[in-house]
Amino acid sequence: MHTLVFLSTRQVLQCQPAACQALPLLPRELFPLLFKVAFMEKTTVVLHELVHTWPFPLLSFQQLLQECAHCSRALLQEWPSAESMQAVILGLTAQLHTPETEAGTQPLCRKHALRVLDMTGLLDDGVEQDPGTMSMWDCTAAVARTCITQQQGGIAEPGLAPVPLEVRADLQVTQASYAFLREGLRNSVGSPLRLYCRDLWAEDLPMRDTVTLLQLLDASCLCRMDLSFNNLGLRDLSVIIAHVARFQHLASLRLHYIHRDSGQLSVDDEDNFRYFLAQMGHFTCLRELSMGSSLLSGRLDQLLSTLQSPLESLELAFCALLPEDLRFLARTSHAVHLKKLDLSGNDLSGSQLEPFQGLLQAAAATLLHLELTECQLADTQLLATLPVLTRCASLRYLGLYGNPLSVAGLRELLRDSVAQAELRTVVHPFPVDCYEGLPWPPPASVLLEASINEEKFARVEAELHQLLLASGRAHVLWTTDIIGRLAADYFSL
């Protein structure tokens, strides 16, 4: 249900020219709702004018586009409209062309004119995108071009001081966007339009370009850094980590595919790894670390021992972890603080099973999200783990895709998980009963690629649904749809 204020605001915006003329006469307190409705309804002319004449020092998407008392729709959980985003950026450009002296003469009180536009927190899950929406890559390009354009074209008439503006954004950079983001950041240095990055996603960049970007970013703002698709050797990593270490407020760091520079681990590789560990000890605010597909087999103790504070999210997918790695993790202060744990791709079926169970026991009080995709867990291992797994009373998500489980194993899991009142999502594998002629034990590649008997699986789905209904757990999603569910954001847990 929408409030009367919301419905009235929507009605006011139906005639955009009249709404723009009325803005100077409206109470400032209405501007936040006007912005949300204009963004939602794509009334771009009004949205442009709202940004241009914003009467507060801060315009924050995270504050304005959330669920509110007047409207339950949370726009931050949807892909942003390209039309609305472009209108905001054009309004920003208009604001930049408004000199300080002119701003003070506006009919609307401009004592607290816009100084910070915070565009962080927009959805970009990398799964689906409607053509009418704007991705993080598109937003990065648009903001960078604005920085370049305003510096090249000038922003105020001679003799008039421009209104300084700070833009905060989450930035995504690839080889295709690197050049103009670099220029945008360079142009913002010393400019009235300053670009600050909260979250950085850099994909498939050469080491030299990555270092250049890190040197241009302000160290006071960056909170999350994702370099997980850059395929770094230890030599490159040792160069990059020295620049990463200056971001003392960094809360999340993702570094995947860290590999040796030659066939055998050389003396130089060992030196570079030790240097990497030393730099990791500089972070005081780190809460999330993701090191998927990296050289950590038998070395997890070296990494975790260098960190200054306990992690709450740890992703170690496809790291060939050994029993001693899991035992060490279970004894650390990290284990008792973990909210998210990803051990996908590590074989937990043999000697790793007992130390994994010990790790679960240690993390049981805090764990919210557990990802165990492709861990070679068959019914025997799952049933042995259920007693400790069900002690994770706060668990909301359990990922078991790609494990060789049968219908009987899934039944037991469903029945035992009834005790976990917070559980909302279980991503389970196609049961081995639904395949024809599987080798045993089946490799994960076979489970992922072999065809299943659709008729058998439909019966399994119906049975699981009935069990959920009978146990009063119809609200829990049991699904084989793994797409879009692996990258749950720790900060949203």
pLDDT band at 110 (very low <50, low <70, confident <90, very high): very low
Answer yes or no: pTM beyond 0.85.
yes
- The rounded mean pLDDT for the chain is 90
pLDDT band at 265 (very low <50, low <70, confident <90, very high): confident
Per-residue pLDDT at 126 exceeds 80: no
Nearest to 12 by CA among 51, 41, 54, 53: 41
CA distances for 345 relative to 58, 221, 283, 361, 374, angstroms = 44, 34, 28, 21, 5
Per-residue pLDDT at 25 exceeds 60: yes
pLDDT band at 155 (very low <50, low <70, confident <90, very high): very low
pLDDT band at 122 (very low <50, low <70, confident <90, very high): confident
Nearest to 295 by CA among 233, 342, 378, 211: 233
pLDDT of residue 124: 77
Burial string for 358-370 (b: 16+ CB within 10 Å, else e) reads bbbbbbbebbbbb
pLDDT per residue over 282-302, tens digit each? 999 999 999 999 989 999 999
Beta strands (DSSP E) in 268-373 are 288-290, 313-315, 340-342, 369-371
Per-residue pLDDT at 360 exceeds 60: yes
Respond yes or no on whether the N-terminal peptide bond of residue 441 is cis (omega within 30° of 0): yes
CA distances for 293 relative to 69, 194, 256, 257, angstroms = 45, 36, 6, 5
pLDDT per residue over 72-100, tens digit each? 888 888 889 999 999 999 898 887 776 65
pLDDT band at 261 (very low <50, low <70, confident <90, very high): low
Name the token pair of 195. Answer: 């670009």
Burial string for 199-231 (b: 16+ CB within 10 Å, else e) reads bbbbbebeeebbbbbbebbbeebbbbbbbbebe
Q: Name the amino acid, one letter, at 254.
A: R
pLDDT per residue over 27-44, tens digit each? 999 999 999 999 999 999
Name the token pair of 322. Answer: 């050994």
The rounded distance, in Å, linking the Cα atoms of 145 and 333 is: 45
pLDDT band at 108 (very low <50, low <70, confident <90, very high): very low
Q: Name the amino acid, one letter, at 253.
A: L
- State residue 24 phi and psi, 5-degree precision: -65, -20
User: 25-29, 162-166, 397-401: which has the minimum mean pLDDT?
Assistant: 162-166
pLDDT per residue over 457-467, tens digit each? 999 999 999 99
Q: Which residues contact 192 (CB under 8 A, 6 or more apart)?
A: 96, 150, 155, 162, 163, 164, 165
Nearest to 40 by CA among 17, 15, 72: 72
